[in-house]
Amino acid sequence: MDVTKTNRQGDQPVAPTGPKPKSIGSLIAGYKSTTTKQINLLNNSPGNPVWHRNYYEHIIRNDTSYEKISEYIMNNPLNWQKDEYNRK
């Protein structure tokens, strides 16, 4: 029996959702899930979000890319006061 999922019309296969098994994305997803459960257990707050909904991953392939990302990381805290989601 073929259990391949298809689209609504039933003619096109649908790609699986979520990170590819044994990928960095899968590792991060597992880490975030485990830590969220533990934090919410300690705080008696089941279902509370702990992490940002999405994150941006980028593979650093050269010195230019490294410099741009490093500069962003160093300067990003300066923008926090402008962030509408910053609680302080």
The whole-angstrom separation of Cα 41 and Cα 47 is 10
| Type of residue at 63 | D
Q: Is residue 52 part of a domain?
A: yes
Q: Is residue 3 part of a domain?
A: no
Q: Is residue 2 part of a domain?
A: no
The whole-angstrom separation of Cα 86 and Cα 1 is 52
Structural domain tally of the chain? 1
Q: Is residue 14 part of a domain?
A: no
Domain coverage including residue 67 = 24-82
pLDDT along the chain (88 residues), means of 10: 55 74 89 94 93 78 95 88 76
Q: Is residue 47 part of a domain?
A: yes
Rounded to two decimals, what is the model's pTM?
Answer: 0.47
| Type of residue at 3 | V
Integer Rg of the chain from CA: 19
